[in-house]
A = this chain, B = another copy of it.
Amino acid sequence: MTQQAAIALGIELRVLANSLDESAARVIADTRLGDYRDLAVLRDFAKGCDAITFDHEHVPTEHVRALTEDGFAVHPGAEALVHAQDKAVMRERLTAIGAPCPPWRRIASVEDVTEFATEHGWPVVLKAVRGGYDGRGVWVCRSAEEAAEVLAGGVPLMAETFVPFERELAVLVARSPHGQGVSYPVVETVQRDGICVEVLAPAPGLDPERAAQAQRIALKIAHELGVTGLLAVEMFETATGLVVNELAMRPHNSGHWTIDGARTSQFEQHLRAVLDLPLGSPSLAAPVVVMANLLGGDDPDLFSRYEHVMAHDPGVKIHFYGKDVRPGRKIGHVTALGTDLDEVRARAQHAAVYLSEGRYT
Cβ-defined partner of A320 (8 Å) among B1, B8, B320, B332: B8
Cβ-defined partner of A3 (8 Å) among B7, B307, B320: B7
Q: A215 → chain B, closest Cβ, in Å?
A: 16
A107 at the interface (CB under 8 A from B): no
Residues of chain B lying within 8 A (CB to CB) of residue A285: 285-286
Cβ-defined partner of A26 (8 Å) among B12, B280, B311, B317: B12
Q: A3-B27, A29-B26, A278-B307 are in contact. Are A9 and B314 (CB under 8 A)?
A: no
Residues of chain B lying within 8 A (CB to CB) of residue A3: 3-4, 7, 27
Is A7 a contact partner of B29 (Cβ separation < 8 A)? no
Is B277 a contact partner of A310 (Cβ separation < 8 A)? yes
Q: A353 → chain B, closest Cβ, in Å?
A: 18
Q: A296 → chain B, closest Cβ, in Å?
A: 13
Is A280 a contact partner of B8 (Cβ separation < 8 A)? no
Is B314 a contact partner of A278 (Cβ separation < 8 A)? yes
Residues of chain B lying within 8 A (CB to CB) of residue A264: 314
Residue of B nearest to A8 (CB): B319
Most B CB contacts (10 A, CB to CB) among A8, A26, A303, A318 go to: A8
Q: A255 → chain B, closest Cβ, in Å?
A: 16
Residues of chain B lying within 8 A (CB to CB) of residue A25: 29
Is A277 a contact partner of B307 (Cβ separation < 8 A)? yes
Residues of chain B lying within 8 A (CB to CB) of residue A278: 307, 310-311, 314
For A288-307 the 0/1 string (1 means CB < 8 A from B) is: 00000000000000110011
A252 at the interface (CB under 8 A from B): no
A196 at the interface (CB under 8 A from B): no
Q: A285 → chain B, closest Cβ, in Å?
A: 6
A31 at the interface (CB under 8 A from B): yes
A283 at the interface (CB under 8 A from B): yes
Residues of chain B lying within 8 A (CB to CB) of residue A8: 4, 259, 317-320
Q: A113 → chain B, closest Cβ, in Å?
A: 45
Complex-state Cα separation, A182 to B9, whole angstroms? 29
A194 at the interface (CB under 8 A from B): no
Q: A30 → chain B, closest Cβ, in Å?
A: 9
A330 at the interface (CB under 8 A from B): no
Residue of B nearest to A6 (CB): B27
Is B7 a contact partner of A279 (Cβ separation < 8 A)? no
Residues of chain B lying within 8 A (CB to CB) of residue A18: none
A322 at the interface (CB under 8 A from B): yes
Residue of B nearest to A11 (CB): B320
Residues of chain B lying within 8 A (CB to CB) of residue A4: 3-4, 7-8
Is A272 a contact partner of B7 (Cβ separation < 8 A)? no
Most B CB contacts (10 A, CB to CB) among A29, A307, A322, A337 go to: A29
Q: A29-B26, A29-B28, A285-B285 are in contact. Are A280 and B10 (CB under 8 A)?
A: no
Residues of chain B lying within 8 A (CB to CB) of residue A263: 314-315, 317, 337
Given A8-B317, A9-B320, A10-B332, 11 other A-B residues pairs in contact with their CB atoms under 8 A: A3-B3, A3-B4, A4-B4, A7-B27, A7-B322, A12-B26, A12-B322, A25-B29, A27-B27, A263-B315, A280-B315
Q: Please give me the 10 A-B residue pairs with the lowest Cβ-Cβ distance, nearest first.
A: A10-B320, A278-B311, A278-B310, A281-B315, A281-B314, A4-B4, A8-B319, A280-B314, A263-B315, A7-B27
